[in-house]
Amino acid sequence: MQNNPYAAADPIGWHGTTILCVRRDGNVAMAGDGQVSLGPTIVKGNARKVRRIGDPRKGGVIAGFAGATADAFTLLERLEAKLERFPGQLERACVELAKDWRTDRYLRRLEAMMAVADKDRSFTLTGNGDVLEPEDGVIAIGSGGNYALAAARALMSVDGLSAEEVARRAMKIAAEICVYTNGNIILETL
């Protein structure tokens, strides 16, 4: 067992954020809330957990993270390096990162998850070596992820909503339910 005093209350380890990625009609939107929690205390309300990475001339990539911030930044840097090595090949870069994450002693200890997307595909990356592509174009991670995922899937059946509108509305619903998610939403689109 880890030395995390909140591990018993949160056995999965996903707490303190919500990241949602929605792909619809050739567009992709990724949203993340701004709340940073330390146990039961909110320590910051405007964190930026969704970022653009990679070379924008090659289409760019949007990445969102949940988990320990320093760990997530380490993984973002590693993913950027993989994208430099494999330009325009998001899947290959993700698989290479997942291999390193699973086999490298230092990386194995990192506690974070990532959602990444380019103009064509979206993936969830975990420390277990998972590189998962959703079949419905919706990814959600973090403590409010299940709420955002359910809301986004329901909203996908509403005609006329863009990927951005679905993401904003679903994140609003998640923020109303999850105490570790706030309404300060950062949204990036491709």
Summarize pLDDT for 131-190 with one digit per residue, the tens.
Answer: 999 999 999 999 999 999 999 999 999 999 999 999 999 999 999 999 999 999 999 999
Q: How far is CA 108 from CA 8, 50, 102, 156, in A?
A: 21, 22, 6, 35
Three-state DSSP class for 168?
A: helix
17 is catalytic: yes
Domains and CATH numbers, the chain: 18-181 (3.60.20.10)
- Tell me the mean pLDDT in the region 46-64: 88
Q: Is the Cβ–Cβ distance between 75 and 114 less than 8 Å?
A: yes
CA gap 110, 86 in Å, rounded? 23
pLDDT-based confidence at 15, cuts 50/70/90?
A: low
Q: Is the pLDDT of residue 60 over 50?
A: yes
Q: How many CB atoms lie within 10 A of CB 86?
A: 15
Marked catalytic residue, from 17, 18, 124, 181: 17
Q: What is the side-by-side strand order in the sheet with 27-32? A: 138-142, 18-24, 27-32, 186-189
Selection from 95, 107, 97 nearest residue 67 by Cα: 107
What's the one-letter identity of residue 6? Y
Least confident of 53-57, 94-98, 152-156, 164-168: 53-57
- Residues near 58 by beta carbon (within 8 Å), at least 6 away in sequence: 87, 88
Sign of the torsion angle spanned by Cα atoms 17, 172, 149, 189: negative
Residue 17 confidence (pLDDT) above 70: yes
